[in-house]
A and B are shown apart, each in its own frame.
Chain A
Amino acid sequence: MGKKFVGEPIPRVEDHRLITGRSQYVDDIVRPRMVYAAILRSIYAHARLKAVNVEKARQAPGVIAVFTGADVREAIGPVPVASRLPDLKIPKHPVLALEKVHYVGEPIAVVVAGDRYLARDAVDMIEVEYEPLEAVVDPERAIAEGAPIVHEEFGTNVAFVWRLSGGDIERAFREADVVVSQRMVNQRLIPVAMEPRGVVAEYLPGEGQLTVWTSTQIPHLLRTQLATMLGLAENRLRVIAPEVGGGFGSKLNVYAEEALVGYLAMRLGRPVKWIETRRENFLSTTHGRGQIAEVEAAVKRDGTVLGLRYKIIQDLGAYHQLLTPAIPTLTGLMATGPYKIPNLHVQIVGAFTNKMATDAYRGAGRPEATYWLERMMDRIAGELGLDPVQVRMRNFPQPEEFPFPTASGLAYDSGNYHQALRRAMELVGYEKLRQEQQQLRQQGRYLGIGISTYVEICALGPSPALPAGGWESATVRVEPTGKVTVLTGASPHGQGQETAFAQIVADELGVELADVRVIHGDTAIVQYGIGTFGSRATAVGGTAVYGALQKVKEKATHLAAHLLGEENVANVAFEDGHFFLKDNPERRMTFHEVALAAYLAKNLPPGVEPGLEATYFFEPSNFTFPFGAHIAVVEVDPETGDVQFRRYVAVDDCGRVLNPLLVDGQVHGGIVQSLGQALLEEAVYDESGQLVTGELTEYAIPKATDVPWLETDRTETPSPVNPLGIKGVGEAGTIAATPAIVNAVLDALAPFGVQHLDMPLRPEKIWRAIRGA
């Protein structure tokens, strides 16, 4: 069959509405008689609520209603957590605070008014009497003796201790020539999707149906959870993810406001809109990362790593959001990275603190793993006097060793790690750069070359490994006119699956891209699905589309054989939109004709149902494991500590590529978020638990002027896990780039004897390190 679309850099089909300003995000939705909600949030990180007086607010102009925690505690169930670790402590998480507040930004009361200005005014009229309590902000302090307790009922801030072992770690350390150890911090980050969260809810009492439009990555999972929280039948609840302005994991959740606004719509009998401000977004949308690790490596003199021991503390924040405790376990699973390291021990302690919850943020646990290990590889190289490349090459598994079993219990699907690193070195001119580095050092200039080789766990994932199923669904519906509608359970919000899936359909059915429409994000239209996260939408969701297409093609072929008067279905071929007899190609029908015949149903084979559509639920047999090598080249100004990029080279292998434009876009965006973590970003709470970086004026995400030109290239090792060979690419850049950049800066600082600095590597920190050297 002539393939026209898969593999080509096709401009996106979803773009027209976005570049003309005609797409619909939550705040663009207006319903008749709609009213506006605004939320009063805690100004203390830890306090008892003595009184919440809403009388003045109730009397304020335009105000329709005001509710506190006490008003809604019976009506709305707790905010859920889906991860189940052994002995996990799960605090009660009401949608509006009851006796205590546990972090700055925790919702206390909600005002509903006729317009958003009046709702905001009335928030200022609510009087809260707090009894401030000592807050605990630092996760290490939180689990030490005598710390203030976030949730008194537990008597401890330790929410869980999770361990993972493989091989014989004690033996590895006995047999080591050298032990290299390093304490490192992977700082708390704020995702900052450009569209803050927002919810519109409308209740139709006649039908008993609640519709919730919300900026989410997981409309179906959210529907199930909201139904429970609100005591509604799941088939009376419709969740719609309209255009979603970025998520990065921060909208892979079930938030208090989603249930609260739904409740308000039912209670007040009017549509209600709530739109998060950026300040609220900083305070009360999930944060990411927030790990502290002590890592020890047992190493032979030649650079062979025998074993790794990790002691990790995860800063959880005050409550569990949907996947809070599960995220660091991904760090554990990926703790041996792209290397043959047979012995592993990981211990992760989850610590409650008086801060917003951490949860998935692009990469979700894997950037931490890659950062720990890639920093360690450079530390090992430094200790042993080896080139960082040498240490990595020595520990890679060979291509023929795949599927490659890890000490953490995974089986990497396919890979050629040497090839990716060699390609990156070739592109950047590694040997020449090392010479230049030497020459520049003579002149007092400090060039740094940083390498990161990574493998990530993607296409999440087999259902047993995920709290709520790891499959994905698709329906392919061929309309009577031959147009094709795809309903996907994935919920893309920028990744471009409307295009990627249309490419698959167009090639498989021989139709044009314009004939295909991909619909997602509406639980009343689309069959149950899981959603978009974990670099899964194309690898798992795309495979579901492919599976549904095979079913459609099979039926259409059967029907075409019948219509062509051919008894042997195997003699019917389908190419370029035509069915024909292999031994008599003149006997042919168009795909459109067959589609129409399926609906007219005048002449169907016996036992064949009318219509032409199929639904396929794809359950992957394994995760996929994309990999690659990134090299950053920087120069450090020794006088100011300023870091300037010279080059950035990325070689990624995400399996088979459906659309190189989309893949490049994902890689670029990921690298730049990573650059943010390496150099700029950090969620800073002061000792009393106030978020100091609570606005874009204080929390720096990368601007166009902070970013170097990115040179990207690929190797292509198909995954055997799905028929399209796709691995996934949504998070690769975010996972790979952070350590590449940090390694580059520390390589530049090597002449000063600086072995490690914690991120973000702001100029002052570098300047101090140089000065202290």
Chain B
Amino acid sequence: MFKIVRREEMAEGTVILNEIEAPLIAKKAKPGQFVILKADEDGERIPLTMAETDKDKGTITIIYMVVGKSTALFRDLKVGDSFQDVIGPLGKATHLEKRGKVICVGGGTGVAVLHPITRAMKEVGNEVVCIIGARTKDLLILEEQMKNASHDLRVCTDDGSYGHHGFVTDVMKEVLEEGDVKEVVAIGPVPMMKAVTNITKEYNVPTLVSLNPIMVDGTGMCGGCRVSVGGETKFACVDGPEFDGHKVDFDELMLRLNAYLEDEKKCHEEYCTIRDAQ
């Protein structure tokens, strides 16, 4: 059992932070790696990239948006409750290197995944410009943390309620125009990552993306998480989760992410009905 020691709600309660006791994972985890969590006996195995790890406290932190039954079950766990299973650390760690000027772009809960990578990018000596965005001001997460993790933070909202009025890609273009950008790291919804890579291709700037496809075991055994990268099939769980964004087939990834859409909807609605009745 993996006890929750801290719980926070963000983005008007749509995004949840759980800090979980998992000393073995915390000891090993590196930026970019993920865990698989399962709430209870009949629960689904859900992969989530870690937002934070604390070796000394022996905890890991996950930040997720409530989108279906499984994440709703996670949301309903209180401090002191436990996840039945947490497995990790899984996947490859981010390749960190001093390159010079780096842009870290995050959207939605992708910002949470981006945070430890941004900080690590800064720690190895890069000059880090960070761009984060959300639909509206109240849905923005981790602004303060991202400010500390980077040299220069730019914030965007789609509706203009805060920071730059527009998409992260607009601001990224401006920074790219300034020149000398050696690498871009983009983590967020698939359409955002696709848009980012389309632009960085034009500027010929290497771009790393972190993918979160559907998976079961997370150890290379099921192949459910296969993604096409440069025409080759890769398993996101063991070959990733980070890939060269210029080579990823995002359209295929989007279709594959929708594989169980109907089932997920049905399952979630049923859960909400029962929960609301109680």
Chains A and B form a bound pair:
no
A interface with B by C-beta (< 8 Å): none
Q: Using CB atoms and an 8 Å cutoff, list the residues of chain B in contact with chain A.
A: none
